[in-house]
């Protein structure tokens, strides 16, 4: 693949209709919303580079903002449409790589079902002493019992 670059004006015009409009805040409190184009460039940088979110260059909005919008766009299918518009066939490769890196949150019911499906492995014997007991600490430094204060 070619080296990453931020999207140009022509590409931005093509993908703008695909991105959901952010609702304006009813109160003018807190930080202003980050520029959607720079957030998209940050998301694309992470996807293209394979780096962690926290390694994003400072020219993009905070990695927390970019990650939050990435998750929302991914879950709604917007990101897939944007990637298809920008990269064509290479989009599926980039999306696939990103999906393998994503943490999948599993419900308690799914965890229980997975645990039941796992094979039973016999427990290992304790490394120190008997099972369930505290490990015996060797008296390597000659420290046994209580400490005495120096006078």
pLDDT of amino acid 39 = 92
Answer whether residue 124 shows pLDDT above 60.
Answer: no
- Examine residue 15 and state whether it is found in any structural domain, yes or no: no
pLDDT single digits (tens) 97-116: 777 777 655 567 766 776 67
Biggest alpha carbon–alpha carbon distance for the chain? 81
Domain count, the chain: 1
In a domain, 32, yes or no: no
At 65 the pLDDT is: 92
Task: For residue 49, give its domain range.
Answer: 38-103
Residue 11 tokens read as 């590409």
Q: Is the pLDDT of residue 139 over 70?
A: no
Q: Is residue 150 included in any domain, yes or no? A: no
Q: Give pLDDT tens digits for 15-40.
A: 988 888 766 666 667 777 888 999 99
Q: For residue 134, is pLDDT > 70?
A: no
In a domain, 97, yes or no: yes
Q: Is residue 62 part of a domain?
A: yes
Q: Given this model, what pLDDT does residue 9 score?
A: 92
Task: Write the DSSP assignment of the chain as a string of letters.
Answer: -PPP----HHHHHHHGGGSPPPPPPSS--SPPPPPHHHHHHHHHHHHHH---GGG--TTSS-HHHHHHHHHHHHHHTHHHHHHHHHHTTHHHHHHHHHHHHS-----HHHHHHHHHHSPP-PPPPPSSSSTTSPPPPP-TTS--S------
Asked if residue 96 belongs to a domain, the reply is yes
Write out the two tokens for 105.
Answer: 């949150």
* This model's pTM is above 0.75: no
94 found inside a domain:
yes
Q: Is residue 132 situated within a structural domain?
A: no
Paired tokens of 56: 């994003």
């Amino acid at each position: 693949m070619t080296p990453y670059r931020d999207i140009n004006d022509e590409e931005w015009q093509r993908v703008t209709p695909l991105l959901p409009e952010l609702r304006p805040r009813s109160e003018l409190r807190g930080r202003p919303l980050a520029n959607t184009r720079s957030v998209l460039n940050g998301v694309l940088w992470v996807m293209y580079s394979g780096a962690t979110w926290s390694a994003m260059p400072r020219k993009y909005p905070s990695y927390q903002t970019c990650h939050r919008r990435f998750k929302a766009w991914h879950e709604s299918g917007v990101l897939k449409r944007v990637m298809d518009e920008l990269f064509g066939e290479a989009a599926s490769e980039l999306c696939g790589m990103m999906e393998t890196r994503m943490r999948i949150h599993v419900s308690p019911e799914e965890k229980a079902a997975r645990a039941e499906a796992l094979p039973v492995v016999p427990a290992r014997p304790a490394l120190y002493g008997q099972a369930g007991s505290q490990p015996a600490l060797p008296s390597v430094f000659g420290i046994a019992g209580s400490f005495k204060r120096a006078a």
